[in-house]
Structure 1
Amino acid sequence: MLNDKSILITGGTGSFGKKFTETILQRYPDVKRLVIYSRDELKQFDMAQLYPEHKFPQVRFFIGDVRDAQRFRRACEGIDVIIHAAALKQVPAAEYNPDEFIKTNIGGAQNIIDAALSSEIKIVVALSTDKAAAPINLYGATKLVSDKLFVSANNIKGKRDLRFSVVRYGNVMGSRGSVIPFFMEKARNGNVLPITHKDMTRFNISLEDGVEMVLWAIENALGGEIFVPKIPSYRIETVARAISPSATLDYVGIRAGEKLHEEMITESDSYNTIDFERYYAILPSDAKKEKYLKHFNASEVTPGFKYNSGTNTEWVDEDALRVLIRQYVDPEFEPRV
């Protein structure tokens, strides 16, 4: 699928970008070029040690910001596929620095669209977040706008063979800044774990499953879809107990911009949502639904359906979380008792 193709990953030195790069090089050894585009020179230097030029001549590193339209267009020369993973993501930081998040998450998205429309790029897959569904925080609102921009870009591509689609999923297990490594560090340094609310829930997906979903979208998307995986939920309190059954739980209250439960498909979205295999797809409101139903061998969801981490039918308990932590985060993990 991607052999002899040139791929660019924005935010390529992040958790997703590193796992995506590893997967591509293992699965598609004849990939023509893999461009890691990010603004952090130290992370690029560290990642370059894993992929030295004499062993991986197809891997290239571009220092640049998605806010810089001219630099990004230069990086896109000869590229076939863009994976857009770059974003500012911390919810509390967004509440106090809204202009910075708007510049990166919205302005950066538009720069990527403009570059794709003015080049020979064939496929763009943008990573989204559950916080973009019915957002109550600035971060989620910027990602919702980003999702809308990518979906709408399919309307202005003309007759070109160019597809824009979006992949939306929940908390990535073990990713930088996420709750599991945060609790593991806290447990090592005092064993008091801060819990925002005893009933708080989140969706859970592994980094590997996130990468597989993007690869699936590259191969299967028609353009305009927001793909949503069928994944389990966990309670934040359950995560804390899985990591340290003996921990003191300090209930600190919900932070600015946080939801008690996350949602990936709202009730309003249900009228444009289809269901197939491991995924749902939210279609553009003006889409010819029959085309998508046939292509994905899908069915329509029931009107009024919603996909919420608090009402999910699939859950991860303490024992299952420990197994997943050993599998995806730390093979030597043992709960602190």
Structure 2
Amino acid sequence: MLNNKSILITGGTGSLGKALTAHILKKYPEVKKVVIFSRDEQKQFQMAQDYPNEPRLRFFIGDVRDRERLVRAFRGIDYVIHAAAMKHVHIAEYNPDECVKTNIDGARNVIHASLETSVQSVVALSTDKACAPINLYGATKLASDKLFVAANNITGWNPIKFSVVRYGNVMGSNGSVIPFFLKKRSGGVLPITNPHMTRFNISLTGGVDMVMHALEHSWGGEIFVPKIPSYKISDVAEAVGPECTQQVVGIRPGEKIHEEMITESDSFYTWNLGKYYTILPSTHKWKLEEFVANFKATKVSEGFKYNSGENTEWETVESLRSLIREHVDLTFEA
């Protein structure tokens, strides 16, 4: 799919961006170029050290808030993965204007730049917090999702496709709970927000696979949702530090006890694709019956919902320990 093609990743120096880069360079030896677009020169410098002799990899300093810079960066690009975002809930609550500028205005700029150039397909990364949001971060990502889905209606003659992938916490990503607990456990106390709190869990590999699936199979306008297990925050703490005391500190502003990825209202537009669910747009340029036949999709029942508290698949303390060794810290012992 990507051989002889050029792909750009906004926010490419983040955890998922780096994992996507490694995957693409390895799986597609004839990819023309992979462009890392981000605003942090130090992170770009550090990432470049991992690829000292890689002519296919390029670095482009820029901010998704800057439409003109995006247009220049997108020239000659075939595929775009939009991973740039302000993602920390409490920071967004304290800096709302900055969150809106990056997550909403940035989405609009990516759409505009894609339509102005020769980009063939765009996959935007979303979050479970965009589903029935109660915090600003989730609200901005919901707005971003809506913008990318609706962008398919204004393409005109342009065959470009826009789609969205929505998933839960990426295990081991920067700022996530497991690296936080690993740093804290030497002190003997692990702070947990609420003993009943649950979250969805996906590995970096799972996140990469999902993005590549959307890039290859999207028809335009879908929101892809993976079928992934949940975990209890208290079980994560037990997996990381069984000898540690768990100190309940309360939830932070804007946090939910359980995360959602599909609401009952979404069920009217949600289809089961096997490995993934997809929330289809209410209006689309393709025929639904052809989509259903092509993917052997089945409609979910009316009132179906998908949240981390009522999930049917769960990580255990032991499975979490195995996953931490595999995906986060190879030296981990507990």
TM-score, structure 1 length as denominator?
0.97
What is residue 7 of structure 2 aligned with on the other side?
Answer: 7
Deviations 1:233-273 (A, max 9, x none): 00000000001111111101111000000000011000000
CA deviations 1:131-158 (Å, max 9, x no partner) are 0000000000000000000000000001
Alignment-derived partner of residue 218 in structure 2: 221
Letter in 1 for 2:114: A
Q: 1:118 maps to which residue?
A: 116
Superposition CA RMSD, Å: 0.8
Residue 223 of structure 1, CA deviation: 0.5
After TM superposition, list the pairs within 5 Å mapping 1:238-249 onto structure 2. Answer: 238-249=235-246
- The alignment partner of 1:334 has SS state of coil
Instruction: State the one-letter code of the partner of 1:106.
Output: I
Give the number of equivalent residue pairs.
Answer: 332
Following superposition of structure 1 onto structure 2, how do residues 276-287 of structure 1 map, counting pairs within 5 Å?
276-287=273-284
* Amino acid in the other structure paired with 1:159: W
Q: Deviations over 1:7-62 (max 9, x none)?
A: 0000000001111000001000110011000000000000111112xx21111100
SS of match in other structure, 2:228: coil
TM alignment of 1:86-97, pairs within 5 A? 86-97=84-95
* Aligned match of 1:332: 331
One-letter identity of the residue aligned with 2:204: L
Structure 1 residue 18 corresponds to structure 2 residue 18: yes
Provide the rounded CA distance (Å) in 2 between the counterparts of 1:207 and 1:51: 20
Give the equivalent residue in structure 1 for 2:232.
Answer: 235
Aligned residue runs from structure 1 range 1-337, under 5 A: 1-52=1-52, 55-188=53-186, 190-287=187-284, 288-335=287-334
Q: Deviations for 1:88-135, whole angstroms, at most 9, x for unmatched residues?
A: 000001111110000000000000000011111000000000000000
| Letter in structure 2 aligned against 1:3 | N
Amino acid aligned to 1:272: Y
Q: Report Cα offsets for 1:301-324 as digits up to 9, x if no partner.
A: 000000000000000000000000
Aligned-partner Cα distance in 2 for 1:155–1:237:
44
Q: Report the secondary structure of 2:134's partner residue.
A: coil
Distance 2:3 2:48 in 1: 21
Tell me the CA shift for residue 191 of structure 1.
1.8
| Alpha-carbon shift at residue 224 of structure 1 (Å) | 0.1
Unpaired runs of 5+ in structure 2? none
SS in 2 for 1:139: helix
1:89/1:139 contact within 8 Å kept: yes
> Which ranges in structure 1 are unaligned for 5 or more consecutive residues?
none
Any idea what SS the aligned residue of 1:164 has? strand
Give the alignment's TM-score, normalised by structure 2.
0.98
Instruction: Say whether the 8 Å CA contact 1:3–1:30 is kept in structure 2.
Output: yes
In 1, Cα distance between equivalents of 2:290 and 2:175 = 40
> Is contact 1:283–1:289 with CA below 8 Å preserved after alignment?
no
Whole-Å separation in 2 of the counterparts to 1:298 and 1:234: 28
1:291 positional shift: 3.1
Q: In structure 2, the residue corresponding to 1:154 is in which secondary structure?
A: helix
Separation (CA, whole Å) in 2 of partners of 1:268 and 1:291: 24
Superposed structure 1 runs of 4+ greater than 3 Å apart: none
The alpha-carbon deviation at position 332 of structure 1 amounts to 1.4
Cα distance in 2, alignment partners of residues 140 and 214 from structure 1: 20
Deviation at 1:296, TM superposition (A): 1.4
Q: Distance in 2 between matches of 1:286 and 1:77?
A: 29
**C-alpha separation in 2, matches of 1:291 and 1:124:** 22
